[in-house]
Structure 1
Amino acid sequence: MKLENAVALVTGANGGLGGYWIEGLQNSGVGKIYACARNIQKLESLVATNPKTIMAIELDITDETSIAQAAAECTDVNLLINNAGILFNQGLIASKDLSAARTEIEINYLGTLAMCRAFAPILKINGGGAIVNMLTILAKVNLPANGSYCAAKAATFSMTQGVRAELASQGTLVVGVMPGTVDTGMSKDYPPPKVAPAEVVREGLQAVVDGVEDVYPGEQAQQLAAQLLSDPKAVEKALAQMLPVS
């Protein structure tokens, strides 16, 4: 897919990675960008950088009415970037209750799925286009310190494969972006190595151009992906040492 003059929609545009997606899209020559967030006031400074290209859209991906309104307004989209997500740093058993796990599933999995469902018909009308789902290498192996987040992202990874299969006939590319630790505020308490947000975006957009379905930005993700192919149980046992803080 060519990015020049494409029309992109980015969820979670006000988040730690959101601004980098907007910048990367602009640098790629995209013609229009719908920057989405639950509170569009948080997008004012972002829109001000290029008001001719960037449009702020109020969107809550956990609300069906909000999604329907966005889909009705953004009928020219041919590149959907599902960037919105949430991380609570909670274990599965250590967590005091299921509230964090439910929210992570609601946003990371069900919200992303709802966006895919709403915009699949739009992408079809506009020639197929592409969907980019922002995942993590931890979608493929659980880090117990973030156990419920990993489980939600694992569900999203599986969903990405299923959506990819269902939309193949309409010519829609579905890309899963699976970095390791990204250097944003969400990971400020995590040790290095960390991959630069701009690199995550660059590799994600290049995957769209090249038609690559799964991409692993950064050395950490690439090494883990290789290790998961050669000895997945060893990777599981190594990460099993990183338990939730009690």
Structure 2
Amino acid sequence: MDIKNSVAVVTGAGRGLGRHLAAQLLDRGAAKVYAGVRNPDALDLPGVEPLRLDITDPESVVRAARAAADATLLINNAGISTHVGLADGDMADIRLEMETHFFGSLGVTRAFAPVIAANGGGALLNVLSILSWIHLPGYGGYSAAKAAELAMTNVVRRELAPSGIDVTALHVGYMDTEMADYVAPEDKVDPAWVAGLALDGIEQRALEVVVGDRSRAVRAALSGGLELLYPDLPAPKAL
């Protein structure tokens, strides 16, 4: 995938990682970058094409796909974090997490995949999380939704390959964005750096981009027992 001269759509492009992705796509020579946001009037990113898009609204998604009919690259970045638990958290918040990260990202993918295929193929990047792999109290709804989005990513990668569409997964922990404003600075990474690595991964047709020491450690622990991911659990019994 050559980003130069590509036509990209970035969801959630108004701030955080999405804003950096949109800006760096322009820097790398993308012919056009559609910045998907709920309120285009509030967008202040020079050089992009504002695209009204609410990924939780199917009609909005359909309209966006029609407006960006020249797209060759889709970045599913839009997301939320309600910090809702699963055992006793608000079901409305749990549903919102799933509607955003799973159904929302899937809906955008389903709308834009035929567009990208009709334009000769291209690429798709799903912004996932370290919490796609490790699931923690305090992030129950988010973890479940991101795990579902990971499963979706792995499936559509195979389904879209015959159409000439590459699918890359981005896994990262805390970034220095508004969503993680409560996290200590030393525990966060620079979203501009993450954006650069993600775009490198797209160009290299990587299956996944794993950013940061913590993400790499969790990725490596997946091949071991659950005690590696959850060391606070009781010691496992011999079976």
Give the equivalent residue in structure 1 for 2:99.
Answer: 106
Aligned AA for 1:195?
A: V
Give the equivalent residue in structure 2 for 1:73.
Answer: 67
* Equivalent residue runs for 1:191-210 within 5 Å: 191=184, 192-210=186-204
Aligned AA for 2:207?
A: E
- Normalised by the size of structure 1, how large is the TM-score? 0.90
The superposition leaves residues 79-104 of structure 1 with CA deviations (integer Å, 9 ceiling, x where unpaired) of: 00111001011211242x20111000
Q: Alpha-carbon deviation of 1:218? A: 1.6
Distance 2:52 2:85 in 1: 32
Distance 2:87 2:133 in 1: 20
Gaps of 5+ in 1: 242-246
Percent identity over the alignment is: 39
* Equivalent residue runs for 1:38-57 within 5 Å: 38-43=38-43, 45-46=44-45, 49-50=46-47, 54-57=48-51
Gaps of 5+ in 2: 235-239
Give the equivalent residue in structure 2 for 1:121.
Answer: 114
Q: Are 2:189 and 1:189 aligned?
A: no
The superposition leaves residues 24-59 of structure 1 with CA deviations (integer Å, 9 ceiling, x where unpaired) of: 11121111000011111221x11xx22xxx110111
Distance 2:68 2:25 in 1: 17
Which aligned runs of 4 or more in structure 1 are off by greater than 6 angstroms? none
CA RMSD, 1 decimal: 1.5
Aligned AA for 1:56?
A: P
Give the equivalent residue in structure 1 for 2:237.
Answer: none
Aligned AA for 2:119?
A: N
Aligned AA for 1:89?
A: H
- Normalised by the size of structure 2, how large is the TM-score? 0.93
* Equivalent residue runs for 1:76-225 within 5 Å: 76-95=70-89, 97-191=90-184, 192-225=186-219
The total of aligned residue pairs comes to 233
Give the equivalent residue in structure 2 for 1:59.
Answer: 53
Distance 1:232 1:127 in 2: 43
Distance 1:78 1:240 in 2: 45
CA gap of 1:144–1:240, structure 2 versus 1, over 3 A, is farther
